[in-house]
Amino acid sequence: GLDDPTRSTLREAEELARSGRLAEALRLLDQEAALVPGDARPHLAASRLLLQAERLPEAIEAAERAARAEPASPLPPYALGLALRARGDRAAAAEAFRAALDLDADLADALVELAALALDAGDHEEARQLLDRALALRPDDARARELASRLD
């Protein structure tokens, strides 16, 4: 709702991380996660900050905690996919993005990530199908359009 204390905590953590205080940001997110056990957002925020800091094992763990907090949300497997891809584990990343799409077939970000992996693997047919779906959902998606232009 409008008065969502978790949202303001997430903003505060982002600010801390931006000003180079990542440890404080992560502590704040851990505290928030303990207060809202059924909410994936503090874990997702931690995963994103850890990914930016290239602390990949921890980013993966945070995404897995997010999935335990909200098993029905597609966002934790999506976050997991991003961290796995950054680690160079393409097969596991693809599996995670597919798990996100199993929970929400219209998660355009996951479609685009999966398309990028398919394109890298040389599977242009798969990439085209995924990008068609992504662009139907988000016609202005710059990354989807850039990837699609590499297919033509």
Contact 131, 148 (CB under 8 A): yes
pLDDT digits 0-9 by tens, 69-110: 999 999 999 999 999 999 999 999 999 999 999 999 999 999
For 1-152, where are the alpha helices, taking DSSP H only?
5-18, 22-35, 41-52, 56-69, 75-86, 90-103, 108-120, 124-137, 142-149
Question: pTM of the entire structure?
Answer: 0.93
Give the pair of three-digit tokens for residue 111: 């479609």
pLDDT digits 0-9 by tens, 42-54: 999 999 999 999 9
Look-up: residue for tokens 């992560």?
26
